[in-house]
Amino acid sequence: MKILCIIPIYNEESRLIALIEKISKFKENNPKKIEFMAINNGSSDNTDKLLRESNLNFIRLRKNKGIGYSLLLGLRLAAKKNYDILIHMAGNNKMSPFDIDKMIKPIIYNNFDYVSGSRFLDKNNNVTNPLFRKVSIKFLSIFFSIAFKKKITDATCGFRAFRIKGLIKYFIFLNKKKYYTYGYEYYSYGKILLSKSIKSCEASVEMNYPKSGKYSKIRPVIDWYPIIWGYLESIFDKVKFEK
């Protein structure tokens, strides 16, 4: 089984070295031979230099076209090279490659199609998360659990894994500019939650936030809008993700 982990990166020089080191350690004892591909989304700092000096495969985009664009590009590349499973992992070192096994086990061994990470399935996995993030994410999770009639414990975690062959026909049509934001992730996840034929679940993952400095590129209001709108659009439009 061929597995690819896509890592979108934008101006993460301060955290990238630590992430590259974690990935290198993970690959030393990686029986499933999971491959990694970083997508440098038009970074203006030393991200490109650090990637060139690493052993990590990467693609460099000249301009920042949005995280949704990076993820859709990764999907097209994975499909072209006949990968079976695609993983999304953040490039800011808040997620750990050592949690990947938890993400793909439900797909490989329990016939799930789609797995979304959750920092709230284990209280030890969110101890470094700012209080505002914990409260706001839990509120959104409760709200969307009611809206989708399916329990969601972490509505904003971007750690995901899914079968490519079964889902690409639904995801690839989202290759439009309006989904090049965070909206792509949450619209598609909303459709997965609504689907009666696509089997999905959550997996426990750790989210570690830095002790100081800016902890997220998600801007209040500006970037929360496409996240919330992505979920809402998935509920109210007429598109269905059914096998």
Confidence of residue 83 (pLDDT cuts 50, 70, 90): very high
Predicted local confidence at residue 215, as pLDDT: 55
Q: How many helices (H) and strands (E) does the chain have?
A: 8, 7
Rounded to whole angstroms, how far apart are CA atoms 40 and 61?
Answer: 6
Q: Is 234 exposed, middle or buried (0-12, 13-18, 19+ CB in 10 A)?
A: buried
> pLDDT, tens digit, for every residue of 159-175?
999 999 999 999 999 99
Mean pLDDT of 49-75: 95
> pLDDT, tens digit, for every residue of 175-197?
999 999 899 999 999 999 999 99
pLDDT at residue 42 above 70?
Answer: yes
All structural domains of the chain: 3-236 (3.90.550.10)
Predicted local confidence at residue 222, as pLDDT: 65
Which residues are CB-contacts of 144 (< 8 A; sequence separation ≥ 6)? Answer: 152, 155, 190, 231
Element (H, E) at 5: strand 3-9
pTM comes to 0.93
Predicted local confidence at residue 218, as pLDDT: 64
Buried b (16+ CB within 10 A) or exposed e, 64-82: bbbbbbbbbbbbebbbeee
Predicted local confidence at residue 217, as pLDDT: 62
What residue type is 83 in one-letter code?
Y
More confident residue, 211 or 199: 199
